[in-house]
Structure 1
Amino acid sequence: MVLLRLDSLALSRSRFALSPFAETLSTMIVLSRPCTEPWLTAWHARHHAAFRARLDADPFTRGLVMLCGSTKYLPDHLVLPPSGGMGTTLESELGEVARVPDTAVRNSLVQSVAHSWENHTLDWLTGHAHAARTAELVREVWQEHVAPDWPSRRALLERDVTYRAGLLAAHGWPRALHQMSRRSAWVGSDTIRFSDRPGPDRMVGPDGMLFVPVSGPRGAWLCEAPGRPHALVYPARGAGGQAEGERRDPARSERPVARLIGAGRAAILRELERPATTSELAALLGQSLGTVGGHLAVLREAELLVSTRVGRRVVYQRTALGDLLADAGPGSGSSESKPT
């Protein structure tokens, strides 16, 4: 198994970050495969044909994407740790990727092929400027398949960070990292099991680690670069619950609780099944900050939710009474698919 062994100062300096590049890479992997998650069906159907056409039109694109979707070792130039924290921009990441030398790209691709569970060759790796071509591919996929719903994706990712930051403040890192991925787990007082597959352990120095959520429904990977903190990319809680252009079932707003407190407040109460901030709720529901803030004030006065400060954020969560009201009426306990 692969273990991440943490320096004595690593935990106190570990933090969360976002990576538009990792989000796009995750999207590419999802679109390269048949859709198996019910909540992603509509989004996948809208984007899959165009993405497959892109693969069919360019051997380099097809070779790289199909390899990434079937290997235990992602190419090194695709797994550089983000350097901008929660404000990391795609352009900054693309600039770093584009500067990777061709020799380094080829060497890491050879490793990826060796660790693949499918048969691959590198016949598609022709010409030069491999990293720059990769960066341009990621930019195009971002613009076509990710950017249109990035605000809602970002809200989901920030919500996961908010949730885990709350656990961190209350219970420490072991609880905050619980079930980040199917294979990761806390082992002892200073070690994270990253994978149950064979591989060398990593030493995490005093700069700590970065934890980077993506909205892909599965998969986790480790980002490494000399002189930079390791970054663990993991699927966010609730990933895939509502992709671009999807709307909630209007029938749900007709439940008795919506008629009792109003559809807007009922929607917020349902969303607070997981704690969230005002801005996260506004992005998820497509409402203004003022509208959401007004609804939150009424719900808090009615003792249906409480607020807690986590760092610079104010996080709202339902009270026991709020839980009862949100689950009341027809539609509760229905058989619709829900992300876990």
Structure 2
Amino acid sequence: MFEFRFGVDDLATTWFAYSPLQEAVLSLRARSGTTTYPEQQPWIARWQPAYRTLDTTLLEALVTPRRWVPDFLTPRPPGPHPDFAAELAVLAATDLRTVRADVLAAYAGDGSPPPPVLRTLLDDPATLLARVVDVLHAYWTRCLAPAWWPRARSVLEADIAHRGRILSEHGAEALFADLDHRLSWRGGVLRLHDPDPTVQALGTTIEVAGRGMVLMPTLFALGAQTDITQGGPPLLTYPARGKATMAENLSAVPVPASPLANLIGAPRARLLTLLTAPASTTELAHRLGVTPGAVNRHLTALTAAGLLTRTRHGRSVLYTRTPLGTSLTTAG
């Protein structure tokens, strides 16, 4: 068990972030976990032609059989909404001793030897790091950035907006209880119970001591996890709320009640029904299979009518139903 002891001011310096680099690295887990991450499988099928053009042997070696990854691949994000290129530059500057040590530690914790491609490169960590940076850049550019990341970013930003409201309206205990069942909060102490015996053996008590904590949603975790090996504030990742919506398409969108469609039109009624959680124009366009411009016109009209509110979060504008909008979707 991990215990994080918070001082009086530590919650005030706790902040949320997401990491495109972390999501890219952890997305490799979904290739071997077809039943674990079912919402990602349609995306993986779409990427397959581009993925086959990459150094797939090295990419797949970055995830152990039990889906652990070397810690150096997921450095602390430099801010709440980092750019992938900026994070990749941080990765490229990793101390070479850390690269080698983290690869060996990941496979040792997994209980399996590194595959041949890594064993060959471990004695030349500079070449290993350069190849890893290059292949992750190619993977991001060819597979993730065009369509998957805009959708994923919307889900992550919607999660953070929701958690911020929980914290402001109900306090820390409600926030941590809502993040994951592995977490509990009592008397200024946050406890993380991980079912993995290997992780349990690493359990310790951490004094937050004025550093705050970084809370990071991810699409590729089955429960809350921590990383206390890097410098800076303690880091806690947790499963993003709404990650299942990554698999949604037009056929999965609920058909609005006829009275609502008759009142405001079928496209706007569908959007209003769909907004059970905050979402951006880009995410809604992907989920509906239409252009962002078409969605934006309807969102503008619904906002002007008092049925939605809009809030800027990072690079996205998130739309949320107002109480009036919610009452209309449930009235029929």
TM-score range, shorter chain: 0.7 to 0.9
Deviations 1:138-171 (A, max 9, x none): 2222122221222222111111111111111111
Q: 2:283 maps to what in 1?
A: 284
Of the structure 1 ranges 305-314 and 247-256, higher mean CA displacement relative to structure 2 is found in 305-314
Q: 1:258 maps to what in 2?
A: 261
The alpha-carbon distance between structure 1 residues 97 and 294, as it changes in their structure 2 partners (threshold 3 A), is same
Q: Which residues of 2 match residues 170-249 of structure 1 at below 5 A?
A: 170-193=169-192, 195-196=194-195, 197-201=200-204, 202-216=206-220, 218-224=222-228, 226-243=230-247, 247-249=249-251
Aligned-partner residue type, residue 239 of structure 2: P
Q: 1:157 maps to what in 2?
A: 156
Q: CA deviation at 1:124?
A: 2.6
C-alpha separation in 2, matches of 1:9 and 1:205: 9
C-alpha separation in 2, matches of 1:230 and 1:323: 38
Q: CA deviation at 1:2?
A: 1.9
Give 2:62's match in structure 1, choosing from 61, 64, 69. Answer: 64
Aligned-partner residue type, residue 249 of structure 1: S
The alpha-carbon distance between structure 1 residues 187 and 112, as it changes in their structure 2 partners (threshold 3 A), is farther
Aligned-partner residue type, residue 70 of structure 1: R
Of the structure 1 ranges 98-107 and 21-30, higher mean CA displacement relative to structure 2 is found in 98-107
Deviations 1:305-335 (A, max 9, x none): 475989998863353x644643576xxxxxx
Give 1:296's match in structure 2, choosing from 303, 315, 332. Answer: 303
C-alpha separation in 2, matches of 1:326 and 1:103: 57
C-alpha separation in 1, matches of 2:313 and 2:135: 37
The alpha-carbon distance between structure 1 residues 181 and 140, as it changes in their structure 2 partners (threshold 3 A), is farther
Contact kept in structure 1, 2:180 and 2:223, CA below 8 Å = yes
Name the SS for the 1:192 alignment partner: strand
Q: CA deviation at 1:54?
A: 4.6
Of the structure 1 ranges 107-116 and 285-294, higher mean CA displacement relative to structure 2 is found in 285-294
The alpha-carbon distance between structure 1 residues 169 and 44, as it changes in their structure 2 partners (threshold 3 A), is same
Name the SS for the 2:185 alignment partner: strand
Q: 2:136 maps to what in 1?
A: 138
The two structures have a TM-score, normalised by structure 1, of 0.78
Structure 1, unmatched stretches of 5+, are 330-340
Q: CA deviation at 1:42?
A: 2.3
Q: 1:5 maps to what in 2?
A: 5
Q: 1:89 maps to what in 2?
A: 83
Deviations 1:249-285 (A, max 9, x none): 28855751334321232123223322x2xxx332222
Of the structure 1 ranges 6-15 and 250-259, higher mean CA displacement relative to structure 2 is found in 250-259
| Count of residue correspondences | 310
Name the SS for the 2:321 alignment partner: strand
The alpha-carbon distance between structure 1 residues 122 and 269, as it changes in their structure 2 partners (threshold 3 A), is same
C-alpha separation in 2, matches of 1:166 and 1:264: 28
Q: CA deviation at 1:174?
A: 2.3
Q: CA deviation at 1:48?
A: 5.1
The alpha-carbon distance between structure 1 residues 153 and 294, as it changes in their structure 2 partners (threshold 3 A), is same
Give 2:320's match in structure 1, choosing from 270, 291, 316. Answer: 316
The alpha-carbon distance between structure 1 residues 310 and 204, as it changes in their structure 2 partners (threshold 3 A), is farther
C-alpha separation in 2, matches of 1:253 and 1:24: 33
Give 1:106's match in structure 2, choosing from 76, 87, 100. Answer: 100
C-alpha separation in 1, matches of 2:171 and 2:299: 31
Structure 2, unmatched stretches of 5+, are 286-291
C-alpha separation in 2, matches of 1:52 and 1:29: 16
Aligned-partner residue type, residue 300 of structure 2: G
Deviations 1:274-310 (A, max 9, x none): 2x2xxx3322222344541221222x2xxxx475989
The alpha-carbon distance between structure 1 residues 137 and 106, as it changes in their structure 2 partners (threshold 3 A), is same
Of the structure 1 ranges 164-173 and 193-202, higher mean CA displacement relative to structure 2 is found in 193-202
The alpha-carbon distance between structure 1 residues 254 and 232, as it changes in their structure 2 partners (threshold 3 A), is closer
C-alpha separation in 1, matches of 2:223 and 2:297: 37
